[in-house]
Amino acid sequence: MNTLDLVVVTAGLGVPSSTRLLADRLAEAAARDLRAAGREVDVRVVELRELARDIADNLVTGFPPPALRDAVRAVEEADGLIAVTPIFSASYSGLFKSFVDVLDRDALTGKPVLIAATGGTARHSLALEHALRPLFSYLRAAVVPTAVFAASEDWGADGTGGDGSLAGRIARAAGELAESLAGRPAAPRTRPTEQVVPFAQQLAALRAH
């Protein structure tokens, strides 16, 4: 079987970011499980912080800049996706949602997705089930059962103990994603030839509407 493409979308705003740290740990665990199952995997991380201006420009103009177009294509062509966002006001971040809005509405249909989030306290963990999971269900993604939330206290107290620890939750969720991907053939990487539409023609089409 061909190499699988695993794309990690992280919406952390700081540098360093606990959101990126959680994303990296989930990706490492999923890749390790896939390789143990005999599958090769390439991991790519999409940092939304670096694409914030491009995302805003795209929402206003409808034309994605090259870096954003490349990131969207990576997500759409991925065999599996790990999506990690900080929680603000009991929901996913505006940056995270804006990127999702850029995707084609059918881009995630049937795609295995692991959802995760970070927040200041464990009270925010409910956002995974009342905000993040419904979002990906609406997009018809195949969301794995275990979602991972990491509060501030999880990082200091984390260990290699049972499933209740952050390490245990990461292992369980990554294992579920790896299991859903292990038997899948890699998605075809052939891309249709892009038709370049002259800018004047695009403007004319906008005026017609």
For the chain, which residues score pLDDT lower than 70? 1, 157-163, 186-209
pLDDT given at position 200? 54
pLDDT given at position 188? 63
pLDDT given at position 75? 97
The single-letter DSSP state of residue 191 is -
pLDDT given at position 196? 47
pLDDT given at position 153? 83
CA–CA dist 180, 182 (Å, integer):
6
- 80-88 and 4-10: which strand pairing? parallel
With tokens 């493409």, the residue in question is 5
Helices (H), the chain: 18-36, 52-61, 66-77, 94-102, 127, 133-138, 152-157, 166-182, 199-208
CB 142 within 8 A of CB 110: yes
pLDDT given at position 162? 52
- Tell me how far the alpha carbon of residue 89 is from its chain's centroid: 20
What length does the chain have? 209
